[in-house]
């Protein structure tokens, strides 16, 4: 139920089609906020990395809702490594991604343990 911003285009993906986001056009998807402060969740997607150079390529984010905690979630690619966290308790991948490659990414959050896991192609 997400709406597009900046008219991203569809291209051939790893499986079927994929959305191509061009950062120079400020393209994104916008969806209603999700209650992330009190539940476990998994975010997963296929990702093609054109370049691994550069800081903080935002992939997913959600700002805080006033009066709640642990809802400022972000997922960024920073110099080829994934960063995943809320405010001031970030996790990052050990593996550095290569350019021009498809990856399956799964970001798992266990609310009971306050644990964040980053899987790249099925490996933590």
Contact 104, 121 (CB under 8 A): yes
The mean per-residue pLDDT over the stretch 85-101 comes to 84
* Model confidence at 49: pLDDT above 80: no
The percentage of residues in the chain with a pLDDT greater than 70, rounded to a whole number, is: 85
**Position 26 confidence tier, pLDDT thresholds 50, 70, 90:** confident
**Position 70 confidence tier, pLDDT thresholds 50, 70, 90:** low
Q: How many of the other CB atoms lie within 10 Å of CB of 87?
A: 12
């Amino acid at each position: 139920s997400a709406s597009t911003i900046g008219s991203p285009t569809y291209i051939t993906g790893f499986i079927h089609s994929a959305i191509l986001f061009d950062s120079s056009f400020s393209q994104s998807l916008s969806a209603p906020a999700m209650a992330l402060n009190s539940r476990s969740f998994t975010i997963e997607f296929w990702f093609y990395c054109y370049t691994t150079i550069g800081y903080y390529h935002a992939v997913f984010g959600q700002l805080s809702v006033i009066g709640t905690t642990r809802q400022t979630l972000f997922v960024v690619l920073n110099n080829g490594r994934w960063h995943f966290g809320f405010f001031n308790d970030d996790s990052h991948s050990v593996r550095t991604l290569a350019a021009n490659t498809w990856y399956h990414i799964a970001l798992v959050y266990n609310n009971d343990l306050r644990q964040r896991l980053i899987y790249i192609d099925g490996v933590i």
